Amino acid sequence: MSSHSQPSSLWISWLLAVAAGVVAFGLVLVLLPSLARQGFSVLVYASPERIDSFGEEAARYISLAHAVLGGVMVGWGAALFYITRTLLARGSRFAWNLVALSVFAWYVPDTSYSLLSGYWQNALLNTVFLVLFAVPLLATRGRLSNDA
């Protein structure tokens, strides 16, 4: 008889909320480009107008980069939400591995480049997201079945 069972609904709800937050953040990047530019401008330069001072063409390109990033985040967050809601909620170790791997695969290169390029503020933001994922992942790790 296996000692594994379904993860606590607290941790599943937590992961669902974080995944929904990733989707919401991505949508802000796509749908509210001015707000996104101002937010990152405050994060990096402590001034909401700094990125816009780069000129109209540069600001438009930064908005495009934010929108592309936002679209990817919407897709990633939706996949995380679905995996968590369906498979991980049933206790699937495979689902846990998918979520943990995708978070790790995002965090390491994004945060490394942020630090190497001198934008520690983005690394700090990334670390907040990492912790939000890590707490429920670590809490559920021992309560999963060894499915395929």
Asked if residue 47 is part of any domain, the answer here is: yes
Percent of the chain with pLDDT over 70: 97
- Per residue in 97-123, pLDDT tens? 999 999 999 999 999 999 999 999 999
Residues 67, 73: Cα–Cα separation, whole Å: 10
C-alpha–C-alpha distance, residues 139 and 127, integer Å:
18
Residue 16 has pLDDT above 80, yes or no: yes
Q: Output the furthest CA–CA distance in the chain (Å, rounded).
A: 66
At residue 147, the pLDDT reads 73
- Give yes or no for residue 148 having a pLDDT over 70: no
Q: Is 92 helix (H, G, I), strand (E, B) or coil?
A: strand
Would 46 be classed as within a structural domain?
Answer: yes
Domain that holds residue 83: 9-141
Q: Please tell me the total count of domains within the chain.
A: 1
In a domain, 4, yes or no: no
Is position 135 within any domain?
Answer: yes
- Average pLDDT, whole number, for the chain? 94
Q: Is residue 55 part of a domain?
A: yes
Flag whether 69 is in a domain: yes
Return d(Cα 131, Cα 52) in angstroms, integer. Answer: 31
Output the CA torsion 102→106→47→31 (10° steps): -50
Q: Is residue 147 part of a domain?
A: no
How many whole angstroms from its chain centre is CA 62? 20
Whole-number Å distance between alpha carbons of 60 and 51 = 10
Compute and round to an integer the Cα radius of gyration of the chain.
18
Which pLDDT does position 3 carry in this prediction?
Answer: 52
Within a domain: 114 = yes
3-state secondary structure of 55: coil
